[in-house]
Amino acid sequence: MHTRRTLRRTRTGLALLTAALFAAACSSTGASTSAGPASEASLAALPRATPSGLSPYYGQKLSWRDCGVPGFQCATMKAPLDYARPSGGDIRLAVARKKATGPGKRLGSLLVNPGGPGGSAVGYLQQYAGVGYPEEVRARYDMVAVDPRGVARSEPVECLDGRKMDAYTRTDVTPDDERETEALVAAYKNFAEGCATDAPKLLRHVSTVETARDMDLLRGALGDEKLTYVGASYGTFLGATYAGLFPDRVGRLVLDGAMDPSLPARRLNREQTAGFDTAFRSFAEDCVRRSGCPLGGKGTTPDQVGKNLKAFFEKLDARPVRTGDADGRALTESLATTGVIAAMYDEGAWPQLREALTAAMRKNDGTGLLALSDSYYERDPDGTYSNLMSANAAVNCLDLPAAFSSPGEVRDALPDFEKASPVFGEGLAWASLNCAYWPVQPSGEPRRITADGASPIVVVGTTRDPATPYRWARSLAAQLSSGRLLTYDGDGHTAYGRGSTCVDSTINTYLLRGTAPADGKRCS
Nearest of 66, 475, 83, 4 to residue 258 by alpha carbon: 475
406 annotated active-site: no
Q: Which residues contact 162 (CB under 8 A, 6 or more apart)?
A: 379, 383, 384, 385
User: Taking a C-beta distance cutoff of 8 angstroms, is the pair 473, 504 a contact?
Assistant: no
Pairing relationship of beta strands 521-523 and 90-98 according to DSSP bridges: unpaired
User: Taking a C-beta distance cutoff of 8 angstroms, is the pair 401, 33 a contact?
Assistant: yes
Pairing relationship of beta strands 7-9 and 16-18 according to DSSP bridges: antiparallel
Can you point out the beta strands (E) in 148-270?
227-232, 250-256
465 annotated active-site: yes
Over the range 67-97, which residues count as b (16 or more CB within 10 Å of their CB) and which as e?
bebeebbbbebbbbbebeebeeeebebbbbb
Over the range 364-389, which residues count as b (16 or more CB within 10 Å of their CB) and which as e?
ebbbbbbbbbbbbbbbeeebebbbbb
282 annotated active-site: no
In order of 60, 95, 209, 519, the CA distances from 477 in angstroms are 34, 29, 19, 9
User: Taking a C-beta distance cutoff of 8 angstroms, is the pair 392, 3 a contact?
Assistant: yes
Spatial distance between the Cα atoms of 49 and 42, rounded to a whole number of angstroms: 21
- For the sheet containing 65-66, what is the strand order? 65-66, 73-80, 90-98, 141-146, 108-113, 227-232, 250-256, 457-464, 483-491, 521-523
Which candidate in 233, 262, 282, 432 is catalytic?
233
Spatial distance between the Cα atoms of 259 and 235, rounded to a whole number of angstroms: 9
Spatial distance between the Cα atoms of 367 and 373, rounded to a whole number of angstroms: 10
User: Taking a C-beta distance cutoff of 8 angstroms, is the pair 437, 403 a contact?
Assistant: no
Which candidate in 260, 465, 491, 504 is catalytic?
465
User: Taking a C-beta distance cutoff of 8 angstroms, is the pair 258, 478 a contact?
Assistant: no
Q: Which residues are catalytic?
A: 233, 465, 493
